């Protein structure tokens, strides 16, 4: 089992709809979780960080964390074409304090 798993996509979502991106992780003791957005040919930029179970909202973005089920998700409301990018899930592994990135999910917002 890979340490951080994401569906590589592409995930196609109509403009204005909700995009739902999911990530699972294997290290049960992990405490810190991040979502990064990476446009093609560009570097990652932090979208959200989440540390506690539940939801965290920031504008059109909501991160959801469920430590018991070991998954973290990102919801993007009112999707815009500019949201088309690869979304990387990252987890700080508890056992060795390392950051582990998933492969990323490619999101395509259909105009």
Partner 1 sequence: GAGVSQSPRYKVAKRGQDVALRCDPISGHVSLFWYQQALGQGPEFLTYFQNEAQLDKSGLPSDRFFAERPEGSVSTLKIQRTQQEDSAVYLCASSLAASRWVNEQFFGPGTRLTVL
Between 11 and 78, whose beta carbon lies closer to partner 1? Answer: 11
DSSP for 59-94? TTEEEEEETTTTEEEEEESS--GGG-EEEEEEEEET
Rounded to whole angstroms, the Cα distance separating 88 from 103 reads 7
Between 96 and 111, whose beta carbon lies closer to partner 1? Answer: 96
Secondary element (H or E) of residue 99: strand 98-101
CB 67 to partner 1: min, Å:
17
Between 16 and 87, whose beta carbon lies closer to partner 1? Answer: 87
Q: Which residues bind partner 1 (CB under 8 A)?
A: 4, 8, 32, 42-46, 49, 88, 90, 92, 96-104
CB 54 to partner 1: min, Å:
20
Question: What sign results for the dihedral spanned by CA atoms 78, 83, 84, 86?
Answer: negative
CB 62 to partner 1: min, Å:
19
């Amino acid at each position: 089992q890979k340490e951080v798993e994401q569906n590589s996509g592409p995930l196609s979502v109509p403009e204005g709809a909700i995009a739902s991106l999911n990530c699972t992780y294997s290290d049960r003791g992990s405490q810190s979780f991040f979502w990064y957005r990476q446009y093609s040919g560009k570097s990652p930029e932090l979208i959200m960080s989440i540390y506690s179970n539940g939801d965290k909202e920031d504008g059109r973005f909501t991160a959801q964390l469920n430590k018991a089920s070991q998954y973290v998700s990102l919801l993007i409301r009112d999707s815009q074409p500019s949201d088309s990018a690869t979304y990387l899930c990252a987890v700080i592994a508890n056992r060795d304090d390392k950051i582990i990135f998933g492969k990323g999910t490619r999101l395509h917002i259909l105009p």
